[in-house]
Amino acid sequence: MVEKKKKQQAVNGNDAVPSPSSSSSPWQAFLVHLLSGLGLASALGVAHKFYSANLVSDPLHTLRLIWVIEAPIVVLIYSMFRSNPKQCSYWKAVGRGILGLPVGAVVNALGAIALGAPVGPKYFLKTVNWSLLMSLFTVVPAASVFGSSWTDWIRLFGHTKPSGSNDYMICLPAHGAVIGAWFGAWPMPLDWDRPWQEWPICVSYGAIAGYLIGMVASFGLVLLRGERQHIKGE
């Protein structure tokens, strides 16, 4: 298994020439994930403190609050890790991230509807807000970092072959969020009559949980990779 991974890395190292900026140190990764996590936590905290709402009692406004608070954090932070800082200014990366938000939301919403998310006027705004949040978890970081570089997108989301620490930071939380949301949909048909079984509450919970797990995994892998490179360097 370890050998396979090494081989893969060697192949990737030969194939794609990673630009110097595409790897960030473990503490940077930690900071990025910490800030994103704090953003989520603070959004939930604000919702609880000032609006006395949570995802269950008022999913629409809570989701809106979460993505409104989380969006600047994610866009501003990930834009610092843009893949080609020479050609692309910081603000251009921010613009790409902002553009990625609605595009990713459309993709996520269509995916959710294909999978069986309820449609109709009653659910429209909830779906919009949920998909904006999912877009922040999945598409926006990649849009900020890679822009329209299709090969990078394919590498991360098609083959799931992250090579650098930046890739880990984008790829793993995004996959975590999607897989978490997929599993989060499973309690929905149960006849328990609990309020959190409504669309999109449990799916959002699943996505947030998956996102958090993905961030922890990404930090762990970046740390591991850093150590290995350190050993290699020596």
Residue 80 within binding range of other proteins, rule CB under 8 A: no
Binding status of residue 4 toward other proteins by CB under 8 A: no
The one-letter amino acid code at 42 reads: S
- Tell me how far apart the alpha carbons of residues 121 and 129 are, in angstroms, rounded to a whole number: 14
Count helices and strands (H / E) in the chain.
Answer: 8, 0
171 binds other proteins (CB under 8 A): no
- Min dist. Cβ of residue 129 to other proteins (A): 21
Task: Tell whether residue 116 is a contact of other proteins (CB under 8 A).
Answer: yes
The binder of other proteins chosen from 34, 41, 115, 224 (CB under 8 A): 115
| Structural tokens at position 109 | 């919403």
Contact range with other proteins by CB under 8 A, out of 29-37, 63-71, 80-88, 152-160: 152-160
- Interface with other proteins, residue 190, by CB under 8 A: yes
Q: Map 74-127 to HEC letters.
A: HHHHHHCCCCCCCCCCHHHHHHHHHHHHHHHHHHHHHHHHHHCCCCCHHHHHHH
Q: Which is nearer to other proteins, 26 or 111 (CB)?
A: 111
Which residue of 16, 113, 216, 217 would you call a contact of other proteins, by CB under 8 A? 113
Q: Do residues 179 and 138 lie in contact, with contact meaning Cβ atoms separated by under 8 Å? A: no
Please answer whether residues 100 and 140 qualify as being in contact, where contact means their C-beta atoms are separated by less than 8 angstroms. yes
> Toward other proteins, which CB reaches closer, 39 or 162?
162
> Which residues in this chain contact other proteins in the complex, by CB under 8 A?
111, 113-116, 120, 154, 157-159, 182, 185, 189-194
